[in-house]
Chain A
Amino acid sequence: MTISSPPANRPDLLDPLEVSRLGGIEVTTAGLVEGFLSGLHRSRRRGFSVEFAEHRMYQAGDELRYVDWKLLGRTDRLYVKQFEEETNLRAMLVLDVSRSMGWTGAPDRLLPKHEYARRLAAALALVLLRQRDATGLLAFDEDVRATLPPKVSTAHWHRLLRMLTGLEAGRGTAADRALQRVVEQLRRRGLVVFISDLLLDRELVLRALKFLRHRGHQVLVLHVMDPGEVTLEGSAEARFEDPETAAAVILRPNDWAEVYRRTVEGVVSDWRLALRREGIRYHRLTTDLPFGLALREALVRPPGLA
């Protein structure tokens, strides 16, 4: 399979072709989200904006209630406050950058999972920001590595890209702490996109995701897998070692290919069922899928799903 994404060492994260393909995507959320402005997303607080965005010079016709009187006292000039009045969704991208995400089964052909996930996050952020949704980022491995609060300004996407570019695969995985931090970041109900290979403590993560749902957030889980993790191949006996936990198994891949395939299917199915039960959307992506296509498949809400 050919990959339309640029090589991992390219400074720009998004393939222009992929970006152009993203134009038709609209992120929709099914539940209620809080926002200032009406839009595609329903909001309980119509007409109000609570998040300060920037100042600008007063112009004739501006409402006096938005004049920053404190600033007038300090500078003797009239400025009005501008709020993120067009934000109708607050989204948080939660990105797993643990060591397991740094793996690829075919280094000469496929991106490592975290490279793939970074591109995916960037593309998703672009889509969200284009429709004036405040978008933030939280990267984690065994701890929270980086946080960017949700904003909607035009410069925000570039800040987000710089942050993504600076992320490298870390060590262990502790997603529950990251998700708790998300709760702190998203005080009102919004969208949480959890991008991970899900090689983590399933019960803890499920509990944290359920808590997010309990707080009223929409949650989308993007399960990133390398094709080499889906299909076990090879005739020679090998010692397979987990880069994070150093746990190891010795086996001949071909002897176990079929059993392994069924096991992976079972794991995916378990995740899907467990998440669906909580009203969480789940989508599995493999890194041999062009990430634009993957994003389209992941964000178009399937009929019948919340």
Chain B
Amino acid sequence: MIGFLHPLFLWALPLATLPLVLHLVARRQPPTVLFPAVRYLQQATQEHQRRLKLEHWLLLAVRTLLVLAVILSAAGPTVARKGLPGHAPTAVVVVLDNSASSAAVAGGTSRLALLRGAARDVLAKATPDDALWLLTADGTARRGAAARLLGLVDSLSASPARLDLGGALTVAQGVLEGESRPSEIVLLSDLQASALGQAELRIPVVVVRPEGNPPSNAGIASLDPGPQPWSPDGGSVRVTLSGELGRSVPVSVSLGDRPPRQGLGTVGETLTLPLASVAAGWQPVTIRLDPDEFRLDDEYRGMVRVAPVAGVTWDATDRYLDAAAATLRQNRRLVDGREVTLGGLGAGASVVQPPAEASALGALNRALERRGVLWRYSDPVGLLQVSDSGPLVGREEVRRRYRLEYTGGAPRGILATVAGQPWIARAGDIVLLGSRLEPEWTALPLSAGFVPLVDALVNRLARGEQASISASPGAPVLLPDLATEVRLDDRRWTVEGGAPFRPPGVGTYFLLAGADTLGAIAVNVDPRESDLTPATDAAIHGLWPDARIVGPDGARAAAFAAGARGDLRGPLLWAALLFGLIEIALASGRHRKSA
């Protein structure tokens, strides 16, 4: 029985009639010419007419077969290897999805255990002539003999990393690209709906999925510690849960070594818990849920920076800055002091805005140069523009600004941009604003984000600190410009500022610039892993139309189908080539006769 790897191409089969249709369309009654010696023509053609007609129909048949062969080869026909035991040498990539969600337990067995069992069945069927790869959630395809890969499968545990299945299939297909043997991908996965992704597949795929429903689950999606640093008075955290909507679970939050606070959280809602003050410094925040069938998302780690609020001095005649600073003082986010100068260049840390009078700009630039700052105020820009959305500032109107120019080569310390050009930049403990914080310059002072921005400027940025960064294992994190090292407990990575960094696992990573701590990366299981809802067969076929879906018990039988069936694409393409050559020979022969 003939099967097809890409049966959709069979819809193009009617195109095989194209030569015949063109022939019929081209047929017409030629003009009549009176010619007395028709009897000579009849005599001349009588002997050759039969051969010519044969040539003509042969040409038509060859053209039809040529189109037919091309279409059929595109459809990827395969035929059963009747009477032969085993399978032909096959190249197989086994994609074993050991992402975090595979740790979920259903019916007393983890999903990963089921998938590992199915992977063992598949690998046990391999012969020494097969080429085998094992691709797991870390994204690396490992090649080896069946015995070695079986060892890897046995030692495999659930990874905190997330695996995009579309991406994994694309990688697997790339691995098999140069293989001359029949190729196949066996995907073993719990097939979370959120993990499915688009992949242009040209190789047969067998999808092995666990049977039965996944367990009910609630996990921690995010932790928001609010504006940082916290004052010694303490602060509050906002916890968001993910998983089965509407489910309520007890939530336990602890800060440093203080006793945890308890609360009742509901999936889909946000729980806010106040935490009492602790000592200054970076303090770990740990959220825990009661254990359920999926344990990896029941604990979440974060970091909170606790520090005394900045002592700030500012010009009280600056109406908008004064109002923001007064609000922060009232909320105990700053105190009067000389640690940070807000609105101008002071002796220490400063948040500098350009002078109202352009004539004072030169003196300001000279003062910045004396402080060793490599940023300068340059030309004024009077266009109405919008700031580029970023972590510090959203999209705000900017009416007037000065270009910020970096004199030290590649610009470093850019915090916000307008039309791609630096608008807020930092050099050490000095933050430069491209516009004055007044409505004539920018709409920022009138926006809701103005006071939090001033808070961040004086308490965090002018002090040279970054906010905490949340990330998932394996996902890239863009490092701050000044970062030189990343540290997790005793492990250290020397890094380059501005480059991406992929944390290998969950935990709290500290960012350092020399001996100074710039910030922290809290790496936790991707919150999408908490949603264990499986993809439907329709959704899978919608993305990978030719995928064959089987249960773990059917994995062994379904695997190596590419080798169990002979691939007819090669012979068909050779046949198409042969037909093409015959067509050229016949057509050129007729052409020569015509000439």
> Which residues of A are at the interface with B, using a C-beta cutoff of 8 A?
99-101, 103, 197, 199, 229, 232, 235-245, 247-252, 254-256, 259-260, 262-264, 267
Contact = CB atoms under 8 A, between A and B. Distances in A.
B594 A240 contact: no
A237 B30 contact: yes
Contact of B43 (A101, A197, A242, A263): A263
Contacts of B595: 254
Given A254-B594, A254-B595, A255-B594, A249 B32 contact: no
Given A237-B30, A256-B45, A259-B45, A248 B40 contact: no
Given A235-B594, A252-B594, A255-B594, A247 B44 contact: no
A249 B41 contact: yes
A103 B42 CA distance: 19
A242 B40 contact: no
A103 B37 CA distance: 10
Contacts of B31: 236, 238-239
A14 to B, nearest CB: 26
Given A235-B594, A249-B42, A263-B44, A199 B30 contact: no
Interface in B316-330: none
A239 B30 contact: yes
A255 B32 contact: no
Contact of B30 (A99, A238, A243, A260): A238
14 contacts: A235-B594, A236-B30, A237-B30, A239-B29, A241-B35, A243-B36, A247-B38, A247-B39, A249-B45, A251-B45, A255-B52, A255-B593, A259-B45, A259-B48
A260 B37 CA distance: 10
B44 A239 contact: no
A250 B56 CA distance: 15
A248 B594 contact: no
Interface string B566-595: 000000000000000000000000100111
B45 A248 contact: no
A243 B34 contact: yes
B33 A240 contact: yes
A89 B41 CA distance: 40
B51 to A, nearest CB: 11
Contacts of A199: 36-37, 39
Contact of A242 (B35, B45, B52, B590): B35
B45 A229 contact: no
Contacts of B29: 239
Contacts of A241: 32-35, 38
A243 B37 CA distance: 9
Interface in B44-86: 44-45, 47-48, 52
B207 to A, nearest CB: 58
B41 A260 contact: yes
A254 B593 CA distance: 7
Nearest to A101: B36
Contacts of B40: 229, 260, 263-264, 267
A24 B366 CA distance: 126
Interface residue SS majority, chain B? helix
Top-7 shortest CB links A-B: A100-B36, A242-B38, A263-B44, A240-B35, A229-B37, A237-B30, A249-B41
Interface in B374-423: none
B276 to A, nearest CB: 101
Contacts of A240: 32-33, 35, 38, 41
Contacts of B44: 256, 259-260, 262-263
Nearest to A250: B30
A263 B595 CA distance: 19
A140 B444 CA distance: 114
Interface string B18-38: 000000000001111111111
Contacts of A236: 30-31
A51 B49 CA distance: 58
B34 A103 contact: yes
Contacts of B48: 256, 259
A256 B37 CA distance: 14
A171 to B, nearest CB: 13
A239 B33 contact: yes
A240 B48 CA distance: 17
Nearest to B595: A254
Nearest to B44: A263
Contacts of B45: 249, 251, 256, 259
B400 to A, nearest CB: 78
Contacts of A232: 41
A259 B52 CA distance: 13
A103 B41 CA distance: 16
Contacts of A254: 593-595
B30 A229 contact: no
Interface string B142-178: 0000000000000000000000000000000000000
Contacts of A264: 37, 40
B42 A238 contact: no
A254 B591 CA distance: 10
B441 to A, nearest CB: 81
B33 A251 contact: no
A112 B29 CA distance: 28
Contacts of B35: 103, 229, 240-243
A170 to B, nearest CB: 13
A238 B37 contact: no
Contacts of A99: 36
Given A100-B36, A254-B593, 8 more contacts: A103-B34, A239-B29, A242-B36, A243-B36, A251-B41, A259-B45, A259-B48, A263-B44
A243 B594 CA distance: 26
A237 B52 CA distance: 15
Given A238-B30, A239-B33, A248 B593 contact: no
Contacts of B37: 199, 229, 264
Contact of B42 (A197, A244, A247, A255): A247
B317 to A, nearest CB: 97
A241 B39 CA distance: 10
Contacts of B43: 263, 267
A238 B32 contact: yes
A219 to B, nearest CB: 23
B36 A239 contact: no
Greatest chain A CB density within 10 A among B33, B35, B45, B48 is at B35
Contacts of A244: 36
Nearest to B36: A100
A266 to B, nearest CB: 8
A76 B542 CA distance: 129
Contact of B41 (A101, A237, A245, A256): A256
Nearest to B594: A254
A124 B262 CA distance: 136
Contacts of A247: 38-39, 42
B30 A248 contact: no
A239 B32 contact: yes
A229 B36 contact: yes
Contacts of B30: 236-239, 250
A266 B231 CA distance: 118
Contacts of B34: 103, 241-243
A245 B41 CA distance: 14
Nearest to B33: A238
A197 B52 CA distance: 30
